Amino acid sequence: MRGIAAVRWRTSRLALRAFEEGDEAEFVRVLEVSKERWTPWVPARPEDWSPRDQFRRELHRSAAGAAEGTHLRLGAFLDDGRLAGLFSLNEIVRGVFQNAYAGWSVSGDLIGQGLGTEGVRALLEIAFTPFPAGLGLHRVQANIMPANAPSLRIAEKVGFRREGIAIRYLQIAGVWEDHVTFAVTAEEHEPSSRSPSTAGEPGSSSRSPSTAEERGPSSRSLP
């Protein structure tokens, strides 16, 4: 089985790919412009937190997760090189489960343009497309705080099925928050954009980058 590090995906506006060394500036820019929008929905930062350190951690987590086949963490780039968001499939388990937890965040300066929906649709395509273009999973889950209306709307639009409420599920901004749990399986999934991408497409260059946020616990809907 080929490793998942090479998975890339193209939508009408986004090129999704793993972060590279050259992405630091864009990553840092996005974290800075997104701080206000993201803070209520992500784990509290340690006191010595810095966007640059977070980029180093992101590169490490991405490489380690791809090597082990347990995490696919992608930046979504516009054709002009700007980082539009972070999308991930985390805690990938094989065997009889074939499951991952989806996570997503859109850059604070690009919210409200449908990019979150576009990126999450791509995540589901990646999850359910067989190897080697996708991950060939059976189930994708997402967990969203009840007050996060835009994320709940995305889950609904892309075909997640609401399964219930997980009480005090994750510690977000220092508080154990309930989450609405969602899932979609391969049988339910309706394919949308099917376009595994190749190296060299827009967004795959090192023009920029910076990134964004640590999606926090991977078992949640944050990239």
Footprint of ligand COA on this chain (CB under 6 A)? 37-38, 41, 104-106, 111-117, 144, 148-151, 153-154, 221-222
Supply the minimum distance, in Å, between the C-beta of residue 38 and ligand COA.
5
Supply the minimum distance, in Å, between the C-beta of residue 89 and ligand COA.
14
Q: What are phi and psi of 202, to 5 degrees?
A: -50, 140
Map tokens 């928050």 to a residue: 177
Quick one: 55 or 87, whose CB is closer to ligand COA? 87
When CB distances to ligand COA are compared, the closest residue is 116
Supply the minimum distance, in Å, between the C-beta of residue 142 and ligand COA.
7
Quick one: 37 or 138, whose CB is closer to ligand COA? 37
Alpha carbons 71 and 11: distance in angstroms, whole number: 21
Alpha carbons 4 and 129: distance in angstroms, whole number: 12
Quick one: 132 or 150, whose CB is closer to ligand COA? 150
Quick one: 218 or 221, whose CB is closer to ligand COA? 221
| Cα dist from 123 to 21, 27, 40, 74, 179, whole Å | 23, 20, 23, 9, 20
Supply the minimum distance, in Å, between the C-beta of residue 3 and ligand COA.
27
- The answer to whether 135 touches 94, Cβ cutoff 8 Å, is no
Strand, coil or helix: 48:
coil
